[in-house]
Amino acid sequence: MSRTMTRAQLSESIYQEVGLSRNESAELLEMVLGEISSALVRAETVKISSFGSFSVRQKGERIGRNPKTGDEVPILPRKVLVFRPSQLLKARIRGDDVSGMTTDDDVQPAASAPGSYSSET
């Protein structure tokens, strides 16, 4: 069973770790999330060192297929939110020892052979 971390739990973590009051912790969290949201609305990329980057990508119009009927239907152009985790975050999730890794700048993606597939393109 997967667990979900909520906004209230993040605020509580800030309260316990930083020592701000509960109200100040909640306000700080709201300010950070608001800044991230505002930057994304302006189509700016948000990079958080050792965590990852958020960006907005424009997807063009394409033809899709209704799975029920098989009919072709146009899918309109739209904007989508993209998150790319840092190499450090990926390593932490895999359970790798990350003690020698300090920032994203220190961790470079492995070079791909020409013509090979990479999920980060």
Residue ranges of domains in the chain: 7-42, 43-108
Q: What pTM did the predictor assign?
A: 0.70
| Mean pLDDT calculated for residue range 27-55 | 97
Say if residue 114's pLDDT is above 80: no
Tell me the two tokens of residue 46.
Answer: 């948000």
Walk across the sheet containing 46-48 and list its strands.
46-48, 52-59, 78-85
Tell me: pLDDT of 120 over 90: no
Which residues have CB under 8 Å from 46's CB, separation 6+?
36, 39, 40, 53, 54, 55
For 43-108, the fitting CATH number among 1.10.8.60, 4.10.520.10, 3.30.230.80, 2.60.40.420 is: 4.10.520.10
Look over the chain and give the mean of its residue pLDDT values, rounded to a whole number: 86
Give the pLDDT of residue 40: 97
